[in-house]
Amino acid sequence: MTAVKPAGHINPIIVLLGILLLAMVMTHLVDSGSYERNGKLVIPGTYETIEKDRSLSASTQVSTTAARPLNLVDTLMTIPAGLERMSGLIFMVMLIGGMFGILTRSGAIDAGLERLLHSMQGNVYLLVPLLMTVFAAGSTFLGLASEYLLVIPLMVAMMQRLGLSAILGLAIVTIAVKAGYLASVTNPIPLTIAQPLVGLPIFSGAGLRFAFFLVFLTVGIGFTLLMIRREGFKARLVSDFDGRALSMRHRLVIGLLVIGVAGLVYGSNQWQWHYRELSAYYIGLSCLLAAAAGLGASAAADAFVDGMKKVLMASMLIGVASAVAITLEQGQILDTIVHGLTALIGEHGAYVSVIGMFISQLLLDFLIPSTSGQAAVSMPILGPLGQLTGVPPQSTVLAFLFGNGITNMLTPTSGTLLAYLATAQVGWVEWARFIFRLWLVYIGIAALLLCFAVSLGS
């Protein structure tokens, strides 16, 4: 039976195509320009406008001496280019979907959740804060993000077993991860790039960031529990859940999954695994899980394909999201936008300037959702501006962290967020409506914390 979409449902592909068309229009309206670069790092003070050829016969090849706006054909070409650019993430998401197809077919997940909820007496108000604290710690101390793709379907299944919506399972992981990234106490992904660019030792200022981490995490947990309550959650009796001991096969499957997650975290941090290595890891883990579950070759393959089908939409979403960035790059307007955003900072004192930095990072993250990419483009510019306006270097880094982390909770151009949504099978529009109030609250908290940091001279 085909599911009926709720009234007012907007397919996320329509949202992304609208953003892509807006990016195309911007290549016509915004002047082209560029900064000189040292590798990927922008060199401050080197921005120059590039002559733009708006004739219809202009070559589609991007040049460093002339630029051109993109037409509709050019823009459509960026979609397969985006799919190609993000192919590593796309294939990884599909393989994760296939692996969870095998896990679902094994029955171990359902049995394990029943046992867990029975032991916790269905007390979601204790279980959720505990889980979110663990996920946030992994994010803020180790920089874990894509590694949690494995966990999201488990959280979704747990919430649904409690009679709650899938979006709450997604929120448990996503809000915790974003709270961790906002503070990035020792998160190496942004700090190893951002702090040296403003003359700071890597991981310095961790004490203040840890205090801010506790603020964001507490608010995030409170919001999640409030949403659970608003859905009408009622505590269950212990007898509502199956407390029988797990079968040998179920214990073996769950044990392999736990070991697999631990190996994933170790490999990602110790050997710097990327999409190719992670995808190979998921394939191998899928084979082990199928064998442990006692699935025959054909049954395992069928389950794997069924799981992949559920996340297939993510492939197009991630590709179109990447196409937006490619459109801006080919129109050579991304550096112009960065140059324009620095005007928000101004020279009106440290407090106004740090808020300007924060706003510029919020807006820039829609165009450059990559944390390391945004740091490479913006921090070489923000560092000197902070010195001129009296913003301490640590506060400059905080403005970057807060802006990048908060926008990444919502932006439809983030490949990681789209991967999260795909594995939870939650639409972007549905997620945006759910998270928007917390997003606004986080913006207000971040602004206050930035002013507090400046007052401390940090």
State pLDDT tens for residues 289-309: 999 999 999 999 999 999 898
> How do residues 364-387 score in pLDDT, each as one tens digit?
888 888 887 888 888 888 888 888
Which DSSP state fits 201?
Answer: -
Can you state the percent helix, strand and coil of the chain, rounding each to 5? 70, 5, 25
Sheet strands (E) in 297-358: none
Task: State the Cα–Cα distance between residues 158 and 141, nearest whole angstrom.
Answer: 26
Q: How many C-beta atoms surround the C-beta of residue 112 within 10 A?
A: 20
What confidence category does residue 55 fall into, taking pLDDT thresholds of 50, 70 and 90? low
Q: Please choose, from the candidates 135, 144, 171, 95, the residue with its C-alpha nearest in 3D space to the C-alpha of residue 426.
A: 171
Residue 236 has pLDDT above 80, yes or no: no
Q: What is the DSSP string of 134-156?
A: HHHHHHHHH--SGGGGGTHHHHH
pLDDT for 251 equals 93
* pLDDT top residue among 114 and 217: 217
CA 401 to chain centre: 13
pTM of the model: 0.83
pLDDT for 155 equals 92
Residues 338, 340, 345, 347: is their CA dihedral positive or negative? positive
For 214-225, what is the mean pLDDT? 98
Which H or E element spans position 235? none
What confidence category does residue 346 fall into, taking pLDDT thresholds of 50, 70 and 90? low
86, burial (CB in 10 Å: exposed 0-12, middle 13-18, buried 19+): buried
Task: State the Cα–Cα distance between residues 91 and 443, nearest whole angstrom.
Answer: 34
In degrees to the nearest 10, what's the CA dihedral of 155, 161, 163, 169? 0
Residues 397, 398, 403, 408: is their CA dihedral positive or negative? positive
CB 25 within 8 A of CB 328: no
CB 368 within 8 A of CB 402: no
**Measured CA distances, 298 to 112, 123, 302 (Å):** 25, 39, 6
Residue 211 has pLDDT above 90, yes or no: yes
CB 204 within 8 A of CB 388: no
Task: State the Cα–Cα distance between residues 236 and 219, nearest whole angstrom.
Answer: 26
What confidence category does residue 113 fall into, taking pLDDT thresholds of 50, 70 and 90? confident
pLDDT for 9 equals 57
CA 41 to chain centre: 22
Highest mean pLDDT among 13-22, 33-42, 228-237: 13-22
CB 87 within 8 A of CB 301: no
